Structure 1
Amino acid sequence: MSTVLDGGYYAIKGFNFQYDYTIIRILEQTNELNEIEIEQTEDYSDENIIVQVKYKERANFSNSQVKKPLCQLLEIFKTDKRKPVLYAYFKNKEEQEVSLSLQDLNDIIGDCKIKNKQYSFEEELKTEFINQFRIIFTGKYQEQFEVLIEKIIKEFNCEEEEALIYYAQIYKYIEKKVVKNAPEDKHQRVCSKKEVKELITNSREVIFHSSYTQFLGKEKYYKFIYKRFFRETNINFHERIFLFELPENFEDTNLLIQLTQKIMERYYKKVTFGGSTIIKSPAPYIFFQNAKDTVLKNMKTELLYEGIIFRDGFCFEGADFFLKNLLEESTPQNNIELKFINRYEYIKEIISQLQRTKKIYNLYLDKRIEQEGLDINHIKIEDFSDINEFLF
């Protein structure tokens, strides 16, 4: 590896280390409205402290290694009395927090000259500084990263794989705060814990999909989705509603037939107990957004030929929509195995009539279905055929 490439690797790792530290501190805030300053006065600052972050993976600690950051922190301390901190990793230092004596400080800063810049510090200032200043020798890059992931898992009540995705999104969000605000606008480089939580909460499934597929691949994304939503070891008596978005001009009737049969086989359950047959899990509801009438007709015709009994709210040719037909209870006698919602405008009316526990899934390509008052699990899909391939 060339010296230039080698230097670039460690510089990037240093930035990552700094931003990871910043995210940790944001998540640790007890007041979610506290605004954290990112690369303003220093690498990190809040209402109490000013922190310069250094990651020296290949270097041993020496006075020369910390002369510049201490001079910079001292210069800031002339006008800003928040607690100054040097948060640093050196390969020969164990994790610990240390203070300096006046002699230690003078030994480090020496003539106070860094290249062509000459600093000047009064003894009174230096004495005041060392009473506040701390060096925090921290662990390795990976160790800090693992601490951060654990904090994300705890904060968002998620698994490790999901936390990695939220980490990537938060990191990009913090980075943009710096990149998009030039030095003259650096006062806008602020972020609160409330901001981060809203970032994840308000667009959780979209963030998850775009980040997961980008960083970990589509197959792992769908494995997680299956595990999170559809891997039920015991199918309970719930009303299940599946809202699918079809691509424009979709014509693949066979794919819809395969999908509906898989959903029926998985979620419509009858059991025999003590000589009696009962419905353990009723017929699921299915809606295909953007479906052409001809495609729906061909699909339903084929299902009838297969002997599958379903309801769609239409009792005879030319009839108006009749809600009671669609809501008819599945029983061992009528053996209703599937229910189809034909129109978008029927969705809320139908679901509002269901009294049992409802599980609603919207598997969408571009535009998700929003219905006020309904708790819908929105799941982003790259390609409609992925549903058959990975989820059912």
Structure 2
Amino acid sequence: MSTVLDGGYYAIKGFNFQYDHTIIRILEQTNELNEIEIEQTEDYSDENIIVQVKYKERANFSNSQVKKPLCQLLEIFKTDKRKPVLYAYFKNKEEQEVSLSLQDLNDIIGDCKIKNKQYSFEEELKTEFINQFRIIFTGKYQKQFEVLIEKIIKEFNCEEEEALIYYAQIYKYIEKKVVNNAPEDKHKRVCSKKEVKELITNSREVIFHSSYTQFLGKEKYYKFIYKRFFRETNINFHERIFLFELPENFEDTNLLIQLTRKIMERYYKKVTFGGSTIIKSPAPYIFFQNANDTVLKNMKTELLSEGIIFRDGFCFEGADFFLRNLLEESTPQNNIELKFINRYEYIKEIILQLQRTKKIYNLYLDKRIEQEGLDINHIKIEDFSDINEFLF
């Protein structure tokens, strides 16, 4: 039984090694539309090369170890003249790229018989083949994996923990390309760099949230979110806009008041130099999606009773929305500490009027806020109370 289990271990590791190398090849494409063929002609191929991948963790290199892949590549080369490559790891081979002489090739393939299959190759074909063929002896499994993670970090501008999660998603996506397309549909087993980037970009925070909370826990997830978005040792003069999605039928006014105070205390900053007071960081903008009018009124009433000065674009009872009121600059004289966006339809108009550097955060439960032309940081949360508990 142990032999069988060991065989399964090395077989799975070999598949992982192959798929990891395929992902590296995809990410290395300078033309993002170039499609890599997966498990079609060989382990992978593109418009220029056809590659067999072998990972022999326990084996030393010998002619018998590479006889079969070379015969297979030679057979393909009869009709497909793309450059043939054997990408392989053997424990006694240093990393290098080598070519073969005709004698080397003949020594390896010998009688050209693999089990019950007899191959036949003309000398002219073999001569043409060795002019194109290369063996690339590579590093161990872990080294290639580290190279791949570094490429993901660079491509998606993320940290290692996040890259590991993106890796899992890309790997599963590549694997499904093979599993979900039977041999008669193997032409569908293709993937481009553009496809991979869209996979991550379109569902980046959802992928990260679900994977991170599943494997590392909610608290670590929020610690990462705090570190990535909200841990600023020096609060600079930026316009900050917070877009929160509340649960349906939300009525916890006290929770909104606590959150609002925390945001104000953290991001509205005044400093005094030589007797003069300046605004170091202006009043943040806050929007509560799904908040009913009664909850908003009760919240603002409590803030006013505490002496907190804010703007919401309405100058008097019954007035229409007045953008200039909301955009009024925070100064030491007017002491405007908070700004509230009351309606979804005001968001884009307000943000586009802001001239300074903008930082926009959408902390959402189910449906994120999309506004064309706005660079919004979307942050998935499990429960609205988590915002107070973990982030502010």
**TM superposition score normalised by structure 2:** 0.92
Q: Provide the C-alpha distance between the structure 2 equivalents of 1:109 and 1:254, rounded to a whole number of angstroms.
A: 78
* CA 1:129–1:193: 2 relative to 1, 3 Å: same
Partner of 2:163: 163
* CA 1:57–1:308: 2 relative to 1, 3 Å: same
Contact 1:309 1:335 in 2 (8 A): yes
* CA 1:108–1:249: 2 relative to 1, 3 Å: same
Partner of 1:151: 151
* CA 1:118–1:279: 2 relative to 1, 3 Å: same
- The alpha carbon displacement at 1:263 in A equals 0.4
Contact 1:51 1:85 in 2 (8 A): yes
Query: After alignment, is 80-89 or 247-256 more displaced?
Result: 247-256
Q: Secondary structure at the match of 1:255?
A: helix
- The C-alpha deviation readout for 1:82-120, integer Å capped at 9, x for no partner, is 221111111222112222333333333333232232222
Q: Secondary structure at the match of 1:129?
A: helix
- The C-alpha deviation readout for 1:154-212, integer Å capped at 9, x for no partner, is 33333333332332232222222212221111112122223333333444333433444
- The C-alpha deviation readout for 1:115-161, integer Å capped at 9, x for no partner, is 23222223333333233222211100110111112222333333333
Q: Provide the C-alpha distance between the structure 2 equivalents of 1:349 and 1:120, rounded to a whole number of angstroms.
A: 72
- The alpha carbon displacement at 1:318 in A equals 4.0
Query: After alignment, is 11-20 or 151-160 more displaced?
Result: 151-160
Q: Provide the C-alpha distance between the structure 2 equivalents of 1:5 and 1:306, rounded to a whole number of angstroms.
A: 69
Q: Provide the C-alpha distance between the structure 2 equivalents of 1:132 and 1:324, rounded to a whole number of angstroms.
A: 70
Partner of 1:5: 5
Alignment identity in percent? Answer: 98
Contact 1:17 1:141 in 2 (8 A): yes
- The alpha carbon displacement at 1:40 in A equals 0.6
Q: Provide the C-alpha distance between the structure 2 equivalents of 1:139 and 1:353, rounded to a whole number of angstroms.
A: 54
- The C-alpha deviation readout for 1:49-91, integer Å capped at 9, x for no partner, is 1110011112222232222212211211221122211111112
Q: Secondary structure at the match of 2:200?
A: helix
| Structure 1: runs of 5 or more not aligned | none
Q: Provide the C-alpha distance between the structure 2 equivalents of 1:293 and 1:351, rounded to a whole number of angstroms.
A: 22
* CA 1:33–1:322: 2 relative to 1, 3 Å: closer
Q: Provide the C-alpha distance between the structure 2 equivalents of 1:49 and 1:213, rounded to a whole number of angstroms.
A: 40
* CA 1:213–1:93: 2 relative to 1, 3 Å: same
* CA 1:329–1:33: 2 relative to 1, 3 Å: closer
- The alpha carbon displacement at 1:287 in A equals 0.6
* CA 1:275–1:137: 2 relative to 1, 3 Å: same
* Equivalences for residues 275-290 of structure 1 within 5 A: 275-290=275-290
- The alpha carbon displacement at 1:353 in A equals 3.1
Return structure 1 stretches of 4+ with deviation > 6 angstroms: none
Q: Provide the C-alpha distance between the structure 2 equivalents of 1:373 and 1:103, rounded to a whole number of angstroms.
A: 63
Contact 1:365 1:381 in 2 (8 A): yes
* CA 1:179–1:242: 2 relative to 1, 3 Å: same
**TM superposition score normalised by structure 1:** 0.92
* Equivalences for residues 1-392 of structure 1 within 5 A: 2-392=2-392
Q: Secondary structure at the match of 2:37?
A: strand
Query: After alignment, is 281-290 or 294-303 more displaced?
Result: 294-303
Q: Secondary structure at the match of 1:340?
A: strand
- The alpha carbon displacement at 1:272 in A equals 1.1
Q: Provide the C-alpha distance between the structure 2 equivalents of 1:321 and 1:46, rounded to a whole number of angstroms.
A: 58
Q: Provide the C-alpha distance between the structure 1 equivalents of 2:131 and 2:349, rounded to a whole number of angstroms.
A: 68
- The alpha carbon displacement at 1:43 in A equals 0.3
Q: Provide the C-alpha distance between the structure 1 equivalents of 2:130 and 2:174, rounded to a whole number of angstroms.
A: 31
Contact 1:168 1:211 in 2 (8 A): no
- The alpha carbon displacement at 1:317 in A equals 4.0
Q: Secondary structure at the match of 1:374?
A: coil
Q: Provide the C-alpha distance between the structure 1 equivalents of 2:335 and 2:308, rounded to a whole number of angstroms.
A: 9
- The C-alpha deviation readout for 1:7-58, integer Å capped at 9, x for no partner, is 2222221111111111111222233332211111000111221110011112
* CA 1:357–1:82: 2 relative to 1, 3 Å: closer
Q: Provide the C-alpha distance between the structure 1 equivalents of 2:349 and 2:97, rounded to a whole number of angstroms.
A: 62
- The alpha carbon displacement at 1:229 in A equals 1.9
Q: Secondary structure at the match of 2:176?
A: helix
Contact 1:312 1:340 in 2 (8 A): yes
* CA 1:323–1:83: 2 relative to 1, 3 Å: closer
| Structure 2: runs of 5 or more not aligned | none
Q: Number of aligned pairs?
A: 392
Q: Provide the C-alpha distance between the structure 1 equivalents of 2:345 and 2:98, rounded to a whole number of angstroms.
A: 66
- The C-alpha deviation readout for 1:312-368, integer Å capped at 9, x for no partner, is 233444444333333333222332211211221222232233333322111111111
* CA 1:316–1:30: 2 relative to 1, 3 Å: closer
Query: After alignment, is 380-389 or 117-126 more displaced?
Result: 117-126
Query: After alignment, is 291-300 or 235-244 more displaced?
Result: 291-300
Q: Provide the C-alpha distance between the structure 2 equivalents of 1:162 and 1:68, rounded to a whole number of angstroms.
A: 39
Query: After alignment, is 132-141 or 193-202 more displaced?
Result: 193-202
Q: Provide the C-alpha distance between the structure 1 equivalents of 2:41 and 2:215, rounded to a whole number of angstroms.
A: 33
- The alpha carbon displacement at 1:214 in A equals 4.1
Q: Provide the C-alpha distance between the structure 2 equivalents of 1:247 and 1:9, rounded to a whole number of angstroms.
A: 46
- The alpha carbon displacement at 1:390 in A equals 2.2
